[in-house]
Each structure stands twice: as structure tokens, then as C-alpha cells.
């Protein structure tokens, strides 16, 4: 199998798992919806769970690239970008395909903290916390590590609320709290 076929599989599987869940989506359904044969799938991945790990890693990469870029487009200063992150979040929540966070869902279905799927999910969140604390440091805030974790916490909370209740003002609620938090740390 060429790399491009493997990439095609991972990209398509990512969408299907994101939309339908991991346990609730079987290999036969993946075959039907990706138009890629099961034999091909098992040529590149030893198991369904290995495929899930690959989709999460791709999602991590894509999400961060897109999210960081969007934040950079929305604001120039580090402090502005900390708040712009919530505007980018709001855009994501309003996407018709928004279905919560793939990593929150993955860690909910694979709860063992040492499970490879859970590990990838936790790594993703560490990267995001780093993003926030990096900006907080650049913005000259006090305790940027703490601020980074706290802002990430707001993001996670907003995602959960947006998913549970459908589109509402979760992102703007979070942004207001972030504004207060940042002001207090200036």
C-alpha cells in the first residue's frame, strides 16, 4: 500500500470515527464508507485500535495547525491571541459538523490512562496547555504555566457545554472568564 492510500484511509476514518464514535463504528462500516478494503486496512494497521491512534494523531496535527493559524489571523499580540482563541473556538462550535472534541470522546471510551488511545488524547491536551502558557509568557502574565492550564480548562469546559446543550454561548462565556483571568494576571 502506498503512503497516499494509508493517508486516505486515516483521513476518511478520522471523519467517520469523529462523527459516529469509536466503539459504535465497526470495521465493516469503515469499509462501506471509505471504499477501502478490509485487507488494505489490515496491511497498514495491526488492529482497529492502531487505526484509531493514527486518526487521533492526524487530528492533533490538523487541529493545532488550523487552530494556531486561525488565532494568528484573529489577533496580533500575545494577549489578543489568548482571547482570540475563544473566538476561534466559537467558530468551531458553529461548524455544522461540530461534534465535541475527538480527544475528550476518545478518552471517555478508552478510560485506562495507560491505554495508547488515552495517551495520545492526553498528549494533545498537553500541547494545547503549552500553547496557552507560551502565549501567556509572551504576554508577560504572572504564572504563565498556571494561566495556561486554567485557560485550557476553560476551553475544555466550553467544549463539553457546547456539546451537551448544542450551540449556545459557551465560547463567549469562556472568553469572559478568560478576560477576567488575564486581567488578574497582568
Partner DNA sequence: GACAATATGTACCGATCTGTACATCTTGGG
Partner DNA sequence: CCCAAGATGTACAGATCGGTACATATTGTC
Buried b (16+ CB within 10 A) or exposed e, 14-25: bebbbeeebeeb
- Taking CB under 8 A as the rule, which mask of x and - marks residues 42-61 in contact with a second copy? --------------------
97 binds, among a second copy, DNA, none (CB under 5 to 8 A by kind): none
43 binds, among a second copy, DNA, none (CB under 5 to 8 A by kind): DNA
Complex with DNA: residue 9 or 152, whichever CB lies closer: 9
- Taking CB under 7 A as the rule, which mask of x and - marks residues 1-20 in contact with DNA? xx--x---------------
Complex with DNA: residue 46 or 97, whichever CB lies closer: 46
Q: Show contacts with DNA in window 25-64 (CB under 7 A).
A: 25-29, 35-40, 42-43, 46-49
122 binds, among DNA, a second copy, none (CB under 5 to 8 A by kind): a second copy
Question: Minimum CB separation from a second copy for residue 161, in Å?
Answer: 6
Question: Minimum CB separation from a second copy for residue 39, in Å?
Answer: 26
48 binds, among DNA, a second copy, none (CB under 5 to 8 A by kind): DNA
2 burial via Cβ count (<10 Å: 0-12, 13-18, 19+): exposed
- Taking CB under 8 A as the rule, which mask of x and - marks residues 138-177 in contact with a second copy? --------x--xx-xxxxxxxxxx-xxxx--xx--xx-xx
Q: Report the 3 state secondary structure along the chain.
A: CCHHHHHHHHHHHHHHHHHHCCCCCCHHHHHHHHCCCHHHHHHHCCCHHHHHHHHHHHHHHHHHHHHHHHHHHHCCCHHHHHHHHHHHHHHHHHCCCCCCCHHHHHHHHCCCCCCHHHHHHHHHHHHHHHHHHHHHHHCCCCCHHHHHHHHHHHHHHHHHHHHHHCCCCHHHHHHHHHHHHHHHHC
Amino acid at each position: 500500500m502506498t503512503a497516499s492510500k494509508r493517508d486516505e484511509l486515516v483521513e476518511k476514518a478520522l471523519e467517520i470515527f469523529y462523527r459516529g464514535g469509536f466503539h459504535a463504528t465497526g470495521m465493516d462500516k469503515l469499509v462501506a464508507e471509505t471504499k477501502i478494503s478490509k485487507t488494505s486496512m489490515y496491511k497498514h494497521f495491526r488492529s482497529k485500535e492502531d487505526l484509531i491512534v493514527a486518526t487521533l494523531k492526524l487530528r492533533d496535527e490538523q487541529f493545532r495547525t488550523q487552530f494556531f493559524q486561525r488565532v494568528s489571523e484573529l489577533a496580533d499580540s500575545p494577549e489578543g491571541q489568548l482571547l482570540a482563541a475563544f473566538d476561534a473556538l466559537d467558530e468551531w462550535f458553529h461548524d455544522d459538523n461540530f461534534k465535541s472534541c475527538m480527544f475528550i470522546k476518545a478518552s471517555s471510551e478508552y478510560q485506562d490512562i495507560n491505554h495508547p488511545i488515552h495517551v495520545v488524547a492526553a498528549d494533545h491536551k498537553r500541547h494545547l496547555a503549552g500553547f496557552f502558557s507560551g502565549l501567556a509568557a509572551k504576554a508577560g502574565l504572572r504564572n504563565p504555566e498556571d494561566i495556561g492550564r486554567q485557560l485550557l480548562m476553560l476551553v475544555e469546559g466550553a467544549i463539553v457545554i457546547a456539546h451537551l446543550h448544542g450551540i449556545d454561548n459557551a465560547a463567549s462565556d469562556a472568553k469572559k472568564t478568560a478576560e477576567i483571568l488575564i486581567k488578574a494576571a497582568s
